[in-house]
Amino acid sequence: MARVAIVTGGTRGIGAAISLALKDRGHTVVANYAGNDEKAKAFTEETGIPVYKWDVGDHEACLAGCKQVEAEVGPIDIVVNNAGITRDGTLHRMSFEDWNEVMRINLGGCFNMAKATFSGMRDRGWGRIINIGSINGQAGQYGQVNYAAAKSGIHGFTKALAQEGAKFGVLVNAIAPGYIDTDMVAAVPEPVLEKIVAKIPVGRLGNAYEIARAVGFLASENAGFVTGSTLSINGGQHMY
């Protein structure tokens, strides 16, 4: 059955692939983004997927943005919390702002989007919330105390909200991607990336569509018995 789906950070990288995968499955998709108007414009022209700009770390902006989407497109049944940023550095060098910004957007964004949409899903008796965590939230990563804590928090958030949603037909799951070939990973220095790839048993980075197709499954009727799960998609790098 076709549903209305929103993908945060849905205009590029993994999010763009998720938007397209959900559209391919017949859903009515809208993509949120933060500030890259050029990418968002090109994406909407190319795909026909409408784009909505707001900061998912801003609670009021999420409430207002989702309200606008529901008025213009219809009740939101599928939320993919994909928007995320990195502000890497060892603890020694990391500023409080870098800590706070990563927590505010990566983890706070999940709370804000759930607050904006969960009640409606519960009232209608059907919903899917799919949160994009990370292998680095499962295993930790040098230079990422902020990002690892936020992503680990997403995995806990997923399990807690899954317990609240289950009896109302609202299923909540997470995907923990390994290293995927996107702008975010392109920012990792080449020698560091080479060491990372050497540790991936399949011997390569992942592709955004390898995450997106799994989101498509979790959003589908076929995943009706899956909730509170974290699906690790990482080429065998971390078997958790």
Which amino acids are annotated catalytic?
Answer: 147
Of 9 and 216, CB closest to ligand NDP: 9
The separation between CA 15 and the C-alpha centre of its own chain, rounded to angstroms, equals 7
Length of the chain equals 240
What is the distance between the terminal CA atoms of the chain, rounded to a whole angstrom?
32
Q: Which of 23, 28, 179, 218 binds ligand NDP (CB under 6 A)?
A: 179
Of 8 and 28, CB closest to ligand NDP: 8
Of 8 and 146, CB closest to ligand NDP: 8
Task: Write out the two tokens for 20.
Answer: 């397209």
Q: How far apart are CA 145 and CA 209, in angstroms?
A: 28
Binding mask 37-56 for ligand NDP (x = CB under 6 A): --x---------------xx
> Would you list the DSSP string of 136-181?
HHHH--TTBHHHHHHHHHHHHHHHHHHHHHGGGTEEEEEEEE--BS
Region of 31-39, 65-73, 92-100, 120-128 interacting with ligand NDP (CB under 6 A): 31-39
Of 13 and 165, CB closest to ligand NDP: 13
Binding mask 73-92 for ligand NDP (x = CB under 6 A): ---------xxxx-------
Told to check if 216 binds ligand NDP by CB under 6 A, we report no
Nearest approach, Cβ of residue 29 and ligand NDP (Å) = 14
Strand locations in the chain, DSSP E? 4-7, 28-33, 51-53, 78-81, 127-132, 170-177, 230-233
Told to check if 105 binds ligand NDP by CB under 6 A, we report yes
Of 132 and 214, CB closest to ligand NDP: 132
Other beta carbons within 10 angstroms of residue 36's beta carbon come to 15
- Contact present, 138 and 178 (Cβ < 8 Å): no
Q: Element (H or E) spanning 65, and its range? A: helix 59-72
Q: Which of 3, 5, 13, 237 binds ligand NDP (CB under 6 A)?
A: 13
Told to check if 9 binds ligand NDP by CB under 6 A, we report yes
Residues that bind ligand NDP (CB under 6 A): 8-9, 11-15, 32-36, 39, 55-57, 82-85, 105, 132, 134, 177, 179-180, 182-185
